[in-house]
Amino acid sequence: MVINFTSIGTVHTDERKLPRHWTVSDVEGTLEILSEYTEGLSDIRVGQRIVVLFHFHKSPPFIPQLLKQTPPHRDRALGVFSICSPRRPNAIGLSVLEVISKDVNRIRVRGLDMIDGTPILDIKPHIEDQDSCPSYPGPRREGTP
């Protein structure tokens, strides 16, 4: 089955040396969302964390020999589905970023591990538990839409 995605925006950052993972990043940048999706950003707030799904657009094509890879910080090969390599069967990445400002269709974030020009596929709320889930019918954590 072939599945096609359309980018909803682009990552912008001046940083050229990026950490390999968002959990160790203080890098700031901007998510510029296409104008036709601006209304979907209405409930994103400063201080919240968002999950950004993106395309590893600069990664070489995946080949079966990459089903096991040795990460730079490990001494043995691990299965591709248990590591964060950009060389994957589907070149999709995920980062959890802190929103530091928002202006119409531009979201300033901290925690980037994406290069300048990275296509954004989707943005979702970061859910820590049922009280922070926007669709949970019970009481919500403060700051949850």
CATH of residue 32's domain is: 2.40.30.70
Q: How far apart are CA 105 and CA 115, in angstroms?
A: 19
| pTM for the full predicted model | 0.85
E-only strand ranges, 15-145: 28-33, 49-55, 68-69, 78-79, 92-103, 106-110, 119-125
Count Cβ atoms below 10 Å from residue 123 Cβ, excluding itself. Answer: 20
DSSP state of 130: G
pLDDT for 133 equals 65
In sequence order, which ranges of 61-137 are alpha helices (DSSP H)? Answer: none
Does the residue 141 lie in any domain?
no
Does the residue 15 lie in any domain?
yes
pLDDT in tens, 119-134: 999 999 998 777 666 6
Which has the higher per-residue pLDDT, 103 or 84? 103
Intra-chain end-to-end CA distance of the chain, in Å: 36
Does the residue 46 lie in any domain?
yes
Parent domain of 20: 9-128
* Structural domain count of the chain: 1
Does the residue 134 lie in any domain?
no
Does the residue 23 lie in any domain?
yes
